[in-house]
Structure 1
Amino acid sequence: MSNTVSRADFDQVMVPNYGPAGFIPVKGLGSRVWDQDGREFVDLAGGIAVNSLGHCHPELVAALTEQAGKLWHVSNVFTNEPALKLANLLVEKTFAERVFFCNSGGEANEAAFKLARKYAHDNFGADKNQILSCVNSFHGRTLFTVSVGGQPKYTEGFGPVPGGISHFEFNNIESLKAAISDKTCAVVIEPVQGESGVLPADPAFLKAARELCDAHNALLIFDEVQSGMGRTGALYAYQQYGVVPDILSSAKGIGGGFPIGAMLTTEKVAKSFGIGSHGSTYGGNPLACAVAHKVVSIISSPEVLAGVEARHQRLVTGLSAINAKYNVFQTVRGKGLLIGCVLTDAYQGRAREFLKAAEKQQLMILVAGLSVLRLAPSLVISDADIDEGLKRLDAAVAELVSAK
């Protein structure tokens, strides 16, 4: 098969900040993907929890196609119908009273952190500016968001980084108590830490965070870029915990593959973003909002949300069967269709070897750090695709174990 470009072109023309797989996907449908050579892959990666309804979902294709024939972009000098409809839907389905649209999770978190500081400045003075976040958290790749994220490897070589940021231990109430003060303007938490290994928060930890923020007049921010939009079995994970934040960031799955991010907040907090205080050229783009409205409408249905737990159980049962044969996982953890398989001591640091072995079996999976395999498939993946994906993972693990 003749191709105009190949994987080798990446190394010649792209900035080398990524190390993509050895094949190039060219077509997707549901939870199957085909590469340039026509090989069919099972997708249990979901574009890193982005393809929430799989590839080329017909209702998303229709929404995009319809909007593409109407209006693409007008800028924020004007508003547009798809943005207003999406904002209304998010307000209806969540705690939020106000919505800000942007293009990514990093942008949504950037807006959240800026708003938290501006709100504190407006209401309590300039000295109340400290942002607290968790060790090993991940909130984006802008200089501000990597600084808030608790992983030094992402800020090395990029200094000086923004100040006024401190970190505490995830799921450790005493660590948060020791860190928070009346100078704290916001506490930022992922209800399920994604990049650091798929770690769900303890309910008591989130409840304590809410109480501590209230006691110190600090805002509670939930980063639900990865855990949101049905991924855990609720529209947003905070709804399962019964702990309501002041600000929530959303992206990834909300667009089903089309780039869009959103920051949700209350009317009281939103007032600190007056005209001209923040913006995004493409934020609220009609194409993105039309697609996202369809995504939210589908995912928020009881049928889809209930199906997430059933698919979780099917995957976990299959993963347990694989582990019974090969003993490669210490534990399988996570919520809904965000699942982490923690490798045993014998395979610590070798997650990418499993990724490569899966690729050879025409299976797409993810890693979360050096020692955790991550699965984040479509929320509507079929039982047949789950079973075939598990079959291919079994073959990949068998090959890797035999080569040990």
Structure 2
Amino acid sequence: MRQNGERWRAPYATDPAACRGRLIAEAASPTRSDFQRDRDRIVHSTAFRRLKHKTQVFVHHEGDHYRTRLTHTLEVSQIARALARALGLDEDLAEALALSHDLGHTCFGHTGEDALDACMAAHGGFDHNAQALRIVTRLERRYAGFDGLNLAWETLEGLVKHNGPLLTPDGRPTPRYAAGIPAAILAYDSVNDLELSRFAGPEAQAAALADDIAYDSHDLDDGLRAGLFDLADLAEVPFLKGLLDEIEHLHPGLETSRRVHELARRVITRFVEDVIAESARRLEALAPTSVADIRNAGAPVIAFSEPVAEADAAIKRFLYARMYRHPGVMAVRARAAQIVGDLFSAFCADPARMPEEWSAGLTGAEEGRVRRRIADYIAGMTDTYAVLAHRKLFRETPDLHWNPESRGLPLAEP
């Protein structure tokens, strides 16, 4: 009999009873597993709360129904738990990874990330995944005994490697990190080996797919709501055309808003069911007896089938062309990037313009350290805070509203 109401866990799942521990040792909780504690620490973190006012694809104040980073994160969490439960994985670890996967995102989504990366080009660049690691290991200041959240090794491993290994088996950067692995990840790995050349555990793999599933579905929903494309346009994607034909056959003449919701839920359902079936096939072929077998498999074990992977890619190609690179979206994106660049330049010229807790100790400091502190400060800003900060420092602040003649009110994310 498992304690604390734990559900069935497969032998290849990550077992909290075998957790590799935390960098700074802590007494065990009498009521929660290590992964439950990590989930709770993430939810109560300042960075998590800020996701409420950080862009997903649309500026939050332009419509209450468009996704923010927070609502996106909650949708990812729900899907990750569903996958974990069906496959016998540790649900708490999958949820913790889903809840933490976007903590490092800046104001204005990938627009802000790209702008900060350009500002930091001479000092290691900016990567939202590395920033998430900095947040949970250094930047959060809530606990008396340590900086960060002091998360378990498995949670940190999944946070860094949920999209796959960062190094090849012979120690070279993988194609995703051909330009170099972010210094923050290498620095932490030097004191707490995250095994960067191996795959993460199955819960991290499930969380990564949950992210793809969530934003495929909700970006279609938000794009349709914004008028960037309509249901007829989706016929360009055979997978989506098939779902729309199915909806019309089952519910002829259904009102448009319900058709959109039926489409979104079917995208999620088909993708989730495919992951469960394909992963079960791969697990049967691999016959893993421990989580180590998953990490050593040499390829993802929790995965889409080939046809659904192509459907996922086709949806992303459609959204890239019709939504993320829409001319109006790109215009707003340029204005958001200007806000980030202006703030960075202003703080570089005078770091004392930042609050004292951020500017303290920077007098006479090495340039790279100053700029990284500035990047940390700006990255933590919400969209609204960044706009207000710009207004305090500059006579004119770019308007991030969509063209009022348009039906949509978006801000881009690639």
Q: Which TM class, normalised by the smaller chain length?
A: under 0.3
User: TM-score scaled to structure 2, two decimals?
Assistant: 0.27
The structure with the greater share of residues assigned to helix is: 2
User: TM-score scaled to structure 1, two decimals?
Assistant: 0.27
The structure with the greater share of residues assigned to strand is: 1
